Amino acid sequence: MQGIIKKPIITEKATAASEKLNAFSFEVDKKANKIEIKNAVEKMYGIHVVDVRTLNYGGGKSSMKYTNKGIVEQKKQAMEKSSCYCCRWGNH
């Protein structure tokens, strides 16, 4: 369970969503599915998760650097972001 959720996403948009919509955002493992994410969040925080939305981002076009060793190509790292809509107080 601990390997599925990497870290919470703390931005202005994520904070506003957590206050208004009771939705929390996490960076999760790329190979995890929605059921695994839901179970990990419920176990870690002790809340009932109503809905899980995932978004794959990053990993786009690779960039090239011109160094004194020659041309070096770098790949961008791909990530998966998850947004969980929760009921904190057991209102199923």
What's the length of the chain?
Answer: 92
Q: What is the CATH number of the domain that holds 35?
A: 3.30.70.330
- 41, part of any domain: yes
pTM of the model: 0.71
Domain interval for residue 16 = 5-87
State the Cα–Cα distance between residues 67 and 63, nearest whole angstrom: 13
- 12 lies in a domain? yes
Q: Number of structural domains, the chain?
A: 1
Residue 92 within any structural domain of the chain: no
| pLDDT in single tens digits along all 92 residues of the chain | 568 888 888 889 888 888 888 888 888 888 888 899 899 988 988 888 888 888 887 766 777 778 887 877 777 777 777 777 765 544 44
- Tell me phi and psi for residue 90, to 5 degrees: 75, 20
